[in-house]
Chain A
Amino acid sequence: MKPLFKNLLATLSLCLPLLANAALDPALLQPLAGDDPDARVAAVARIAATGGSDARQVLQALLDDALVATPAGQVLIVRDDQAIDAATGKALPVPDGADGVVVNNRLRGAVQAALSGLALLAPARDERLAAVHSLQAQDADPAQAPLLRQALARETDTDIKAQLAQLVARADLESSDPATRLAAVTALADSGDAALRPQLQAMLTEEPDAALRAAAGATLRAIDGRVARNEVIGNLFYGVSLGSVLLLAALGLAITFGLMGIINMAHGELLMIGAYTTYVCQSLFRHYLPGAADWYLVAALPAAFLVAFAVGVVLERSVIRWLYGRPLETLLATWGISLMLMQAVRTVFGAQNVEVANPAWMSGGVTVLGSLVLPYNRIAIIVFAALVVAAVWLVLNRTRLGLFVRAVMQNRRMADCVGVPTGRIDMMTFGLGSGIAGLGGVALSQLGNVGPDLGQSYIVDSFMVVVLGGVGQLAGTVLGALGLGEINKFLEPVAGAVMAKICILVVIIVFIQRRPQGLFALKGRSVE
C-alpha cells in the first residue's frame, strides 16, 4: 500500500500549481468501474492529480458509495435518486442496471489520502485541520514531504502549522540527507506518537551518524516517557469512565434496593426500558424531525425518566407495595417481573438488538496530549453521571421529600404515624429509583447494545456496586463504582480482561471481609 501512496502524493504535489477546474476525462474514470484493483488505485491517483473540484466530487462520491457504473462503462454519481455524469457533471436520469462501484479498504485508503492531500490547501480552516488529522492517522511517508512543506509554507494558523511541522518531520525521517533527518528527529522530540517508535528504533542501530543515533535515542526516550504517561492518564480516564457507567447503572438500584430494601431483580429491565425509550425517541425523530435527528437525546432523557418512572409506579402499586417488610420475597416477585418485561420487549421489539446511534456531536473523540483519544460519548457520560448524582443527592438530602423518603424507608409505620403519606412516598421513591434507572439506560444505549438482555448484563455489577459501597449510602455507591472502575482499568492491561474481572470479584470478596457493611458502613447502635 505504501508505495502506491507515495506515487500518488508525489504526483499530487507536482500538479499543485495547476490547480484549476477541468472536466474529467471519462477514460480516467473508466478503470474505477473495472475489476483490477491496482488499476483502480492508479485511477484514483490520476483523478486526484487533476486537482479540480470535479475530482474532489468524484472521490467523495466514491467514499460515500455514491458512485455507480453503467454496464456500458459510464461512471455516474447518484445522490438522492439524482444521477450526474461524473465526467461532465451533466444531470441524467438514473439508468437501469447500473451497479455501485465497489470500494474496499485499499481503495478507500487511497481516496482518503488523496482527499486529505487536496484538502491541505483548502481555504476553510476546519477542512485543513481535518486533513492534517487524517494524515496523522496514516503511515509516515517521505514522499509527502514536498507537499507538506508547501502546505506548511502557506499555512497561517499556528495550531495547524505546528501539526504540519510534525508531519513534515515525520516524513523527513527517511530523508536521504542526514541533516534533514537530524532536524526531523529533534523536532519530533515533543511528539507522543508511538507509531514513530519502530523507525526510531531502527535508527538506533542502522544510523551511521553517532550524533543522530544519540538524538534518536533521546527522542525515543521522550516519546516513551510520554506514551507511558499517556497510558496512566488513559487508564485513569478509562477507570472514571467505566466507573461512571457502573454508577449510572447502579444509581437507581441504590435507591430501590439501597434505600427501600427491595432486592430489585427487575432493575436491569428498568435500565433496558430506558434504553428502548431512547431507541423509540430516535426513531420518532428520524421519522418526524429528520432535521433535528441529532438532538433525539434531549428528548430521550426526560422521556426515559418518565417512562421508567411510570413503569416503576405501576410495579410498586401492583406488586411491590404488598411486600414491604418481606425483602426476600421481593427477590422472587421482581425476578418474575424481570422475566416478563424481557419477554415483553422481545415480543414488541424482537429478540434482536436495535440500533441506537450516537448523535454526531457524541461521535468521535478529542485527542489530548498528542495521542490519547477521549471519546465524546464517554466524556458526556461522565458529566451526565455527575449531574445525576448531584441531583439525587440534593433531592434526598436537601428537600423535605428526601427527608420523608429516608424516614419512610427506615420506619414506615412511625413515618405514617407522624403524618407522612407513606403509600405515596413509597410510590414516588420507587418511581424515582426506576426513573433514574431509565436515565442510566439512556447512557448505556450510547455505549453498547440495546436488546432484551441489556439489563441482565448489568444487574450483577449493579448489586456489587451498591453493596460494596454500603447499602443505603449514596456516597458509598459513587465511591464503589469509581473504585471498581479504576481497579479494573489498572488491572486489565496487566492481567487481561478476564483475569481482571475475576480479580475484581475477588477484591470485592476480600474487601467485604474487611468492611462487612461496605465502604461507607454506618457504625454504632443505629445500625441494629
Chain B
Amino acid sequence: ADTIKVGILHSLSGTMAISETSLKDVALMAIDEINAKGGVLGKKIEPVVVDPASNWPLFAEKARQLIAKDHVTAIFGCWTSVSRKSVLPVVKELNGLLYYPVQYEGEELEKNVFYTGAAPNQQAIPAVEYLMSKDGGAAKRFVLLGTDYVYPRTTNKILRAYLHSKGVKDADIKELYTPFGHADYQTIVADIKKFSAGGKTAVISTINGDSNVPFYKELGNAGLKATDVPVVAFSVGEEELRGVDTKPLIGHLAAWNYFESVKNPTNADFVKKWKAYAAAKRLPNAATAVTNDPMEATYVGIHMWAQAVEKAKSTDTDKVIAAMGGQSYKAPSGYTLVMDPTNHHLHKPVMIGEIKGDGQFSVVWKSKEAIRAQPWSPYIKGNEGKQNL
C-alpha cells in the first residue's frame, strides 16, 4: 500500500462523545501534521475513523474491523477502562497495537498497549500529597467521592491505602459513590459539609462525565468554597469546564499531567495549532476550543508512534513495539517524555491546577521531573515486584 493506515477508535456518539470527540480531532490534526512533513517511511498516514458509539462490545467489533479488515498498523483510541478492556483481547489475538491516552486505575500491563495517560501514582497520589501539604490546605479529613464504577473504586482503594500509610484514620475518610449520570448532589454536598465540620477536609473527586456539572453547581450554590473545602478532581479538565460557569468554582483543583495554561513554547505552538485546526475544520465551538490532558496524551502518542515506525523502518507490530521503548518526545507539557520500555507507560510530570474564572487552570504545583508509572500500585497487596512486562 502507498499509505500507512492507522485506526481512530473514539466514541463520536453516545455518552462518551462529550469527551472523546476532541481526541479524534486532535489525532487527525497530529496525523495531518506528520503528513505535512512527509509522513512516515515516506508514506502518508491514512486515518480510519470509526464510531464505537459508547457501546463497549462495539469497541471490540470495531477494533477487530480495524485490524482484520482495514489492516491498520496501530489504533489510537478508547477512553473508559471498560472500552479498553473490551478491545484488549482483540488486540492481543490479532497482535495489534493500541495507544491509550487517558488516566486510568492501573492494574494492567499489556505488550500490545502503550499507555500515554497517567497511572494512579502519576496523578492521584501526588494530588493527595499536595492536599496534605501546607500550601494545599493541610487537609486532615478526606471525602473520596466518585462515580460508582471501577476506575473510582480502584483509585479510592489505592488512596485509602496511601492515606493509611500517612496515618489518616478510617474515621477521617468518607467514601461516597453516585450512579452514572447522577444529577442531584444536594444530599452529597450536605454530607460533605457535615463531615467537614469535623476538621480541615478535602474532597477527592473521581466523578466522571456528566455528573460533574451538577456537582459543582450544587457546591457553588451551597456556599462551599475552595478555601473551606477544596475539591480535587481527576477527570475534570479544560474540556469539561467549558460546560460550567466556573466563577463559583475558583480555587477548586484538578490534577493532570498537562494543562493548557502551561507556559512554554511547545505548548504555545500546540495550542495555537489546535485553535487554527478547529477553526479551519469548522469544528463546532471552534472559537472556544481548548486543549486538555488526554488530547496532549493522544498527540504525544501519535508522534511517538511515528518516531518508532521510522526507527523500526517497518510497521510490523513487534518491531514497532521494540522501537517504542525509550522513545522520547518533547511534549506540550514542557517536559521531554520518555516511553518506558518495560512497562509501556509514559514517564509523566504531575501538575496540580486551580480552576480560574475563565475556565482555565493556574498551575499551583508541579513535580520536578517526569515520574515513572507504577501501573501496579504498591499500595495494593500482591503487586510487589510486578512493575514490568
- State the A residues within 8 Å of B (CB): 1, 37, 65, 100, 102-106, 108-109, 112, 137-138, 193-195, 197-198, 227, 231, 234-235, 238, 241-242, 245, 342-343, 346-358, 363-365, 367, 373, 375-378, 447-453, 456-457, 488-489, 492-493, 496-498, 501
A453 pairs with B210, CB closer than 8 A: yes
Show 25 A/B contacts (Cβ-Cβ < 8 Å), sorted by A.
Answer: A102-B364, A103-B354, A105-B230, A106-B136, A193-B197, A197-B197, A198-B197, A227-B194, A234-B190, A346-B12, A349-B284, A352-B285, A353-B240, A354-B242, A355-B244, A357-B245, A363-B220, A364-B221, A373-B221, A378-B186, A449-B210, A451-B210, A489-B187, A496-B176, A498-B148
A363 pairs with B186, CB closer than 8 A: no
- Measured in the bound complex, the distance between the Cα atoms of B178 and A469 in whole Å is 26
Q: Which of B17-25, B63-71, B155-163 lies at the interface? A: B17-25
**Using an 8 Å CB-CB cutoff, how does the interface string of B208-250 with A read, 1 for contact, 0 for none?**
0010011001101111011110100000000110111101101
A448 pairs with B356, CB closer than 8 A: no
A453 pairs with B15, CB closer than 8 A: yes
**Using an 8 Å CB-CB cutoff, how does the interface string of B135-148 with A read, 1 for contact, 0 for none?**
11110000000001
| Among A346, A353, A364, contact of B213 (Cβ-Cβ < 8 Å) | A353
Given contact pairs A137-B223, A451-B18, A451-B210, a sample of 20 additional A-B residue pairs in the complex whose CB atoms are under 8 Å apart: A103-B362, A105-B226, A105-B253, A108-B250, A109-B227, A343-B13, A350-B284, A350-B285, A353-B210, A357-B247, A364-B221, A449-B213, A452-B18, A453-B15, A453-B210, A457-B183, A488-B184, A497-B177, A497-B178, A501-B182
Task: List the 10 closest A-B pairs by CB distance, nearest first.
Answer: A353-B243, A350-B284, A357-B245, A375-B221, A448-B214, A351-B21, A194-B197, A109-B227, A238-B186, A497-B178
Chief secondary structure at chain A's binding surface = helix
Min CB–CB distance B25 → chain A (angstroms): 10
Q: Given the complex, which residues of A lie within 8 Å of B136, measured CB to CB? A: 105-106
A375 pairs with B222, CB closer than 8 A: yes
Q: Given the complex, which residues of A lie within 8 Å of B148, measured CB to CB? A: 497-498
Given A104-B364, A197-B197, A449-B210, A363:B248 Cβ within 8 A: yes
A235 pairs with B239, CB closer than 8 A: no
A358 pairs with B226, CB closer than 8 A: no
- State the B residues within 8 Å of A (CB): 12-15, 17-18, 20-22, 134-138, 148, 176-179, 181-184, 186-188, 190-191, 194, 196-200, 210, 213-214, 217-218, 220-223, 225-228, 230, 239-240, 242-245, 247-248, 250-251, 253, 283-285, 354, 356-357, 359, 362-364
| Among A137, A448, A449, A452, contact of B17 (Cβ-Cβ < 8 Å) | A452
- Measured in the bound complex, the distance between the Cα atoms of B191 and A342 in whole Å is 35
Given A37-B135, A450-B243, A497-B182, A346:B17 Cβ within 8 A: yes
Given A195-B197, A238-B190, A363-B220, A448:B183 Cβ within 8 A: yes
Min CB–CB distance A408 → chain B (angstroms): 35
- Measured in the bound complex, the distance between the Cα atoms of B129 and A282 in whole Å is 40
Q: Given the complex, which residues of B lie within 8 Å of A346, measured CB to CB? A: 12-13, 17, 21, 284
| Among B138, B179, B226, contact of A108 (Cβ-Cβ < 8 Å) | B226
B239 pairs with A498, CB closer than 8 A: no
B177 pairs with A198, CB closer than 8 A: no
Min CB–CB distance A63 → chain B (angstroms): 9
Q: Given the complex, which residues of A lie within 8 Å of B181, measured CB to CB? A: 457
